Amino acid sequence: MQLLRKIIFYILALVYIISCPLIILYAFGYIYSPGKPGEGGSVLQTGLMYVATVPPGATLQVKGTEHPQTTPATIRDLLPGTYPIAIEMEGYNSWSQDIPVEAEKATVLDKIILLPKKWKEEKLLEGPFTDLAPMLGSGHFLVKGGPNAGNFTVYNYTDDKEIPLLEDGSPFFKDKVLSYYLVDKSSAMLLRVGTSGEEKFLWIEPDEDPGKATDVTSLLEDLPERIKWVPQAEWLQFGEDRLYTYQSGYVNRIDIESGAVYPEYVNEVKGYALFNNEIYVLKENNEFLKMDLNKDNKNKLLDDPELGHRLFGEKGYFEVEVLSDDFILFVGEKGELLANRLPHRFVEGGIRGLKPYMPLEHVLLWKKDSIGILDFSTEETGNVEFEKGPTLTWIYTKGKNIEQCFWVYEGTHILFRDGMDVFLIESEEYGEYILSHLFRLGDKSNINYSDDTKEIYFLEASKGDLVSVNLMPETTVLQGALPAGKNEKK
């Protein structure tokens, strides 16, 4: 018996001595592959994969084998290669994709949205309403219940409350709304109303004075083609209640509080924008300059007549979108897209709208049938023989009548309305873009989305109530954090 024990001890010791290096290699992310008979084995470096979903708690299959951990989950010691991933959760549509894994890197899938099989609508305001107008970045949107100003209301989705556009007894209550002007990041608006052949302009700030309307008709002699103002959140020195209106090739400045009008404040204009309390102006001679809102400290950004003519031509208005101090976009009347970066001209026509997401240095843009992403995060200038400018990738080209697009979940998804249908595109870097149809609207109307509330707002089909559906339920990740010390591939 004592001899048998000694034999067993020596066998175990020998196994330990042989396996110890393999244990150490495994701990440092290596796997020993024995190879074919008669051939020597090899040591391979491994990678890992991190998978997180909204909501969490989904089952995860890797190459058809269920992983013991639900999402969020870290899958370790994967040999380099491609892995079919399948995710399932009761009440939600399944998700699957082939995902690459590289040695010494972490493949991160941390922004997967699981879509419910059936959407649950929450009624916010009782209708009937006929349309809504997003006031992007302001926490509000305008809801239309009829043709008159008294039929309009403002919904504050940040605080979940209704704000009357006009107070009861307002002299403008029965005036017909002919048009309205909105500015991103601002809850204020300018309404053009008319009754008995007479038109008026109303300045309304629902957050400051709910239900109050200031008649500014005397400050607007001509019908403006375009109106811009500095959102209250960006007021620094010059922005308070100043309107900059464009008509007939010049810009007027209007100070609402003082009632002062500065006609032809800037003349010979074919495009302008307000940014960081500065006004950017594209002149009719194609000179491009910026100055502060008091017209001081002028700085010419383009003073090359030949280049200016080649870019902007002789005639035509351009919408100017200033994304940063050194990145500016221009959209012409035919939908052509230009930028102050090489190659300057990106789209020859058809652009309907654009929406930047500055944390990723991406710009979302769309035409009637296509959606693209302009990526200026990887451009190279000054250190290569040929400069590499922003890249434009068309990620969807099968639309019929795309009218609205929104960034979702920190720029990883795109929500859009194509006619009466609402879709979501998942823009993960691995594999192809995933397109999902969410639902169909009962009537053609606008939608609104907020990445703060994670809600899609629209009008209910049968009664025209204002409703919302939750795209991403609020969740807290409690497990499966991405391990430190690994190179990340996103």
Residue 47's CATH number: 2.60.40.10
**429 touches 112 (CB < 8 A):** no
Q: Is residue 214 part of a domain?
A: no
pLDDT at position 310, please?
95
Q: How many CB atoms are closer than 10 A to CB 18?
A: 9
Q: What is the mean pLDDT of each run of 10 residues along the chain (490 residues)?
A: 54 48 42 47 75 96 94 94 95 93 91 95 95 92 95 94 92 95 92 91 91 94 91 61 93 93 96 94 97 91 95 95 94 97 95 96 97 86 66 95 96 96 86 89 92 95 94 62 48
pLDDT at position 172, please?
95
pLDDT at position 16, please?
47
pLDDT at position 478, please?
43
Q: Is residue 90 part of a domain?
A: yes
Domain count, the chain: 1
Domain of residue 27: give its range: 2-34+41-113
pLDDT at position 307, please?
96
Round to whole Å and give the CA distance between 489 and 47: 10
Residue 319, φ and ψ in degrees, nearest 5: -75, 130
Q: Is residue 88 part of a domain?
A: yes
Q: Is residue 97 part of a domain?
A: yes
Q: Is residue 358 part of a domain?
A: no
Longest dimension (CA), the chain: 115
Closest CA to 131 of 160, 152, 156, 157: 152
> Residue 242 is encoded by which pair of tokens?
């100043």
pLDDT at position 117, please?
95
Q: Is residue 47 part of a domain?
A: yes
Round to whole Å and give the CA distance between 392 and 106: 27
Strands, E assignment, 303-370: 318-324, 327-332, 337-339, 345-347, 353-357, 362-366
**145 touches 151 (CB < 8 A):** yes
Q: Is residue 15 part of a domain?
A: yes
Q: Residue 73 half-sphere exposure, CB side, CA atoms within 13 Å?
A: 18
Q: Is residue 242 part of a domain?
A: no
